[in-house]
Amino acid sequence: MNRVSVDTAGRPPSVDSLARELALRHSLPHALLVDFARRAIAESGADDVKQFADRLATEFGQSLLREVINATGVLLHTNLGRAPVEMQVSGRASNLELNMQTGERGSRQETVGKLLSLLCGAESALVVNNNAAAVLLVVAALANSRDVVVSRGESVEIGGNFRIPEVTEQSGARLIDVGTTNRTRLRDYKKAIDKRGNDIALILKVHPSNYRVSGFVEDTPVRELAELPVPVAVDIGSGLIDNTCPWLDARPPSWLSNEPAARQTISDGAALVMFSGDKLFGGPQCGVIVGRKDLVEACASHPLARALRPGSTTMLALQSLCLAYLNKTATKEIPFWKMAAISVEDLRARAQAIVAATKNHEVCQVDSLPGAGSAPGATIKSFGVVVRGDHLRELRSNSTPIIARVKDGRTFLDLRTVQPEDDEIVVRALNNLRV
């Protein structure tokens, strides 16, 4: 028979007394503790009302957003917010929509748009709240009630149930599939244009991002599509700005060799390019549209643009990001490129130092992943620490949670995704493990 805790008189504790008792162990708002107390008292299946209330408060406290140490080796871990962003804000207001020359209302897009245009070699740029929004806005603004041509091999679904056919439908455009799943040639696009004429407003080319098709495959490059009498909009997905990576001291890493880049896609003749801000670009969550000025302006003037616009925090972070690229200080100022550029030798030395300061652990070579659908199939050589047994829960319970991974009954901590200044936290956590 189910029981709840009662006092000596046979009564359950009062909501107020139980909430006050919870406050001794949990630094949560009183209103939340009262809610947990009420739920615990009302829960007939609880063997001990105080333990049940304490569990509710503990679980909620652990669910609060907080900083964690990413030791998974996935540089852009979607569950951990993708690209980490360093934010330095004073709490003051910003001139988000104030023209500092005239003192009148300005545009939140103008300055950051100029920086993005310069980085990508484009005429104009527009920022929205994510890349799905960028694709939706482009198709809605340029092809409502008209046709959009997409290769069958690119009519894809990516994370979060984002499907190109459904986005097209929501935009008010009509999707025209061409080619086959594995092969789409230039003549397939030409045939659709010849058949439907002025009904076709746009050719949409979509990078599959989180998977690869190999074998008997063929697609049509942007430079060939750009010869057709229809604007070409390209969703490159992960947001590599320039495949020459001029912000790096060394040559571009091999794991980026097959990743499309915004500058080169514009140079190949794309009218518009869309990409994510929180992937290989290394910034906050947002979507970026760059390309022809008239088409970008058409997107900016569409009613959806206001609903999809980002706030000041995103725009400030993007501005800092663009300036770091232009100043060629990305590997010093952008956390993603710090992780990507650190040498294997440095990682091995850090792993050796951690093992020397702990017990029963070993240095191991591991393969990091770009993550978040970027450079699918690519790996990056790395080093880390391996511990016998599954210690994921213990590491997550650390005062600064550490997120690692388990394989074959062992726990791996990949140091490529751990900031060097957090190595001491890792050492203390490892020394506290019950191995």
Q: In this structure, what token pair is assigned to residue 231?
A: 């604007």
Tens digits of per-residue pLDDT, 169-201?
888 889 999 998 888 999 999 999 998 877 999
Read off the DSSP letter of residue 196.
H
Does domain 69-83+338-431 fall into CATH 3.90.1150.180? yes
CA 173/CA 39 separation, integer angstroms: 49
> Which pLDDT band, with edges at 50, 70 and 90, does 27 fall under?
very high
Q: Are 371 and 210 in contact (CB under 8 A)?
A: no
Residues of the chain with CATH 3.90.1150.180: 69-83+338-431
What average pLDDT does range 156-175 have in this prediction? 78
Q: In this structure, what token pair is assigned to residue 183?
A: 């092969």
CA 289/CA 270 separation, integer angstroms: 12
CA 142/CA 240 separation, integer angstroms: 25
Tens digits of per-residue pLDDT, 235-278?
998 899 999 999 998 899 999 988 999 999 999 999 999 999 99
* pLDDT over 70 (residue 387): yes
Three-state SS letters, 315-372: HHHHHHHHHHHHCCCHHHHCHHHHHHHCCHHHHHHHHHHHHHCCCCEEEEEEEEECCC
DSSP string across 217-273: -B---HHHHTTSSS-EEEEEES-B--TT-TTSSSPPPGGGTT--BHHHHHHTT-SEE
Residues of the chain with CATH 3.40.640.10: 110-310
Q: What is the pLDDT of residue 45?
A: 57
Residue 104 amino acid letter:
E
* DSSP H or E run through 201: strand 200-206
Q: Are 167 and 320 in contact (CB under 8 A)?
A: no
Please give the share of the chain, as a percent, with pLDDT higher than 70.
94
What average pLDDT does range 157-164 have in this prediction? 70
What top-level class would CATH report for the domain 110-310?
alpha beta
